[in-house]
Structure 1
Amino acid sequence: MAYTNSSLVSYTGLSPNHSGQRTHSIDRITPHCVVGQLSAETICACFPAGRDASCNYGIGTDGRVSLCVEEKNRSWCTSSNANDQRAITIECASDKTEPYTMNSAVYATLVKLCTDICKRNGKSKLLWFADKDKSLNYNLKSDEMVITVHRWFANKSCPGDWLYARLGDLAEKVTAALGGTAQTPSADTSVWYRVRKTWSDSKSQIGAYHSLSNAKACADKNAGYSVFDESGKAIYPNAAASPSAVPFMVRVSISDLNIRKGPGTNYARTQYIPVGTYTIVEEADGQGASKWGRLKSGAGWISLDYCTKV
């Protein structure tokens, strides 16, 4: 594929922080809050050699666009190699505190830039599902692009609640500008999500859905029920994030999950935990996650929101 960069760019300050040419075609856009009312130039300056972070584009507080990493290259922006290989990442000037509000110039440019990205990559629709599982597992059509967010891959608020609440509006505005129809695609009818008390108790089933979001809504309305995929695995509520007897085993599948000295993001990070299976010997509530787990090894605590109970 022949990659191009946006003609909306008014400043180029290329960062050396990238992985070279991406290994997947572009079919995602991931907008971020930069946590500061920065200029387009300053956003690029945030990513010097050695920082281990970057983005494809920056949108300054006056709405001007900077190019930090060319579209052909994978930036280091969302704590997920898999996402960054597919996504155009955009750092947007914002307030420094929650909800990380962006001004009207930044938001208007974000709409224009996302429209331009979609158009140059042959897309006529930008989708927003507000659901991590659906977004990452949806089988995109050739003319579709999907929005993803940093908070799905790391213990972060990014892109902030201000922009998160407007991502549906962003998708609609971009799709309208592209001449497409702003609508949520139909669910994959080849997949069933079943709502039961336990997988083994088939008589307890109260619903089967092609839409994961509909299955989750059913489980939310019926205490004691969970959503199971076709293999019988409970996928909602997150079993690892719910109170349970310890010890128990969890599987870590992401390569950048922090180990912290205590149960919360207010405790210092010590290292990343390698992908693998671990024993949790204690659970606790804490800042930045619905539940924290203490590792049997004594290395520290991890967020159970990013683990799968086994």
Structure 2
Amino acid sequence: MGISSLATKYGFQSFPHYSSGRSGAKVNKIVIHHMAGTNYDIVPSIWQTREASAHYGIGKNGEIRAYVDENNTAWHAGNWNANISSIGIENCNSTGSPSWNVNQATIDSCAKLVADIAKRHGLGKLVVNKNLFPHSYFSSTSCPGVLLGSLQYIADKANAINNGGGSSTPSTPTSDLYRVRKSWADAKSQVGAYKDLNNAKRTADSHSGYKVYDPNGNQVYPTSSSTSNVKTLVVQVNGLNVRNKPSLSGTVVGSYNKGATWTLPKTEKQTIADGWVWARCPIGYCAVGKNTGKTEPDDYILIS
């Protein structure tokens, strides 16, 4: 059995949505998620009906729980090849939509768990988008939310732990990075900093209204000739239910309030069921509005 000594079992494999074994694959990466929810204890009961799971979850105070044996495949990345070769870590949010913040205690505990996993599986030095990935690298999703901007911190802290410097301060990113922000002046809105421009563009595409700036503060993406490959969904009401499938019979797994925003590929079509139009969201499915064949002023979600 493979479970980190840092974790305690919680609802361990008490749900159907994971696979025994790893189809012959070897673990060579870790994938970071956020829960898009603030109720740590509801996980993993939502996986009784929702076709998803993860190996670990981390609470607001840094508590680590084990959900799936590392020797088994959790359904977390939205990509089978990634699933069978990775370990997925869910991080509980400290606030709800639209910010979905994550406590520093959660992030620091995540770094410790990442270090432990990397050491036991021989992953070597942790490098973002090489052996430490955001969920959005493998699927069109806004997950892991604000943690996109913490991946380098997590990698640095985990590497320091494995190099015998557990109390060391993670290295400060160098200045030759592409930064993803709402505007250059709004440093607090930054959700990532990357050496690779393509990675920065990918992050900007998954965050409505965000742009990529070079080290001198010049906007390099999108340019006037750029065409976004995503559409933006904005919730127009409070208390919009999120269900585990696009149907009124689906189990409610959460809710969004007015202003909650996420993106989907432009090519993705909505589902029509029970007289409603349904759209995928980070934690399930939401009703967009009645199936009238056109946008209505009372629709629950505005899509642009």
Aligned equivalent of 1:179 = 163
Greater C-alpha radius of gyration: 1
Instruction: State whether structure 2 residue 160 is matched by structure 1 residue 159.
Output: no
Deviation at 1:216, TM superposition (A): 9.4
Task: Calculate percent identity across the aligned residue pairs.
Answer: 26
Deviation at 1:152, TM superposition (A): 2.6
Instruction: State whether structure 2 residue 5 is matched by structure 1 residue 30.
Output: no
Aligned equivalent of 1:128 = 128
Supply the AA of the counterpart residue of 2:65: S
Do the aligned residues in 2 keep the contact of 1:102 with 1:163 (CA within 8 Å)? yes
Deviation at 1:111, TM superposition (A): 0.9
CA distance in 1 between partners of 2:162 and 2:199 (Å): 32
Q: 1:266 to 1:111 in 2, by over 3 A?
A: same
- Secondary structure at the counterpart of residue 148 of structure 1: strand
- Secondary structure at the counterpart of residue 117 of structure 2: helix
CA distance in 2 between partners of 1:8 and 1:69 (Å): 14
Q: 1:103 to 1:292 in 2, by over 3 A?
A: same
What is the aligned residue count? Answer: 198
Normalised by the length of structure 1, the TM-score is: 0.53
Supply the AA of the counterpart residue of 2:139: A
Q: 1:216 to 1:61 in 2, by over 3 A?
A: closer
2:12 to 11, 14, 21: 14
- Secondary structure at the counterpart of residue 122 of structure 2: coil
Deviation at 1:19, TM superposition (A): 1.6
CA distance in 1 between partners of 2:62 and 2:199 (Å): 38
- Secondary structure at the counterpart of residue 165 of structure 1: helix
Q: Stretches of 4+ moved more than 3 A in 1?
A: 180-183, 212-217, 241-244, 263-271, 289-294
Q: Which runs of 5+ in 1 are unaligned?
A: 130-134, 136-145, 184-211, 218-236, 245-262, 272-285, 295-299, 304-310
Q: 1:92 to 1:292 in 2, by over 3 A?
A: same
Supply the AA of the counterpart residue of 1:157: S
The C-alpha deviation readout for 1:124-179, integer Å capped at 9, x for no partner, is 311114xxxxx4xxxxxxxxxx112222333321000x210110111111111111
Give the CA RMSD over aligned residues: 4.0
Do the aligned residues in 2 keep the contact of 1:38 with 1:61 (CA within 8 Å)? no
Supply the AA of the counterpart residue of 1:171: A
CA distance in 1 between partners of 2:199 and 2:51 (Å): 37
Aligned equivalent of 1:288 = 263
Q: Within 5 Å, which residues of 2 pair with 1:1-310?
A: 4-15=2-13, 16=15, 17-23=17-23, 24-39=25-40, 41-48=41-48, 50-94=49-93, 95-129=95-129, 135=130, 146-160=131-145, 162-179=146-163, 213=196, 242=227, 265=233, 288-289=263-264, 291-292=266-267
The C-alpha deviation readout for 1:96-116, integer Å capped at 9, x for no partner, is 224421112211210111111
Q: 1:119 to 1:293 in 2, by over 3 A?
A: closer
Deviation at 1:243, TM superposition (A): 8.4
- Secondary structure at the counterpart of residue 36 of structure 1: coil
The C-alpha deviation readout for 1:225-251, integer Å capped at 9, x for no partner, is xxxxxxxxxxxx9xxx8489xxxxxxx
Q: 1:180 to 1:86 in 2, by over 3 A?
A: farther
Q: 1:243 to 1:76 in 2, by over 3 A?
A: closer
Q: 1:266 to 1:99 in 2, by over 3 A?
A: closer
Deviation at 1:213, TM superposition (A): 3.6
Normalised by the length of structure 2, the TM-score is: 0.54
Supply the AA of the counterpart residue of 1:154: S
CA distance in 1 between partners of 2:84 and 2:5 (Å): 22
Supply the AA of the counterpart residue of 2:128: W
Do the aligned residues in 1 keep the contact of 2:128 with 2:152 (CA within 8 Å)? yes
Deviation at 1:180, TM superposition (A): 8.6
Q: 1:215 to 1:100 in 2, by over 3 A?
A: closer
Do the aligned residues in 2 keep the contact of 1:124 with 1:178 (CA within 8 Å)? no
Supply the AA of the counterpart residue of 2:96: K
Q: 1:291 to 1:53 in 2, by over 3 A?
A: closer
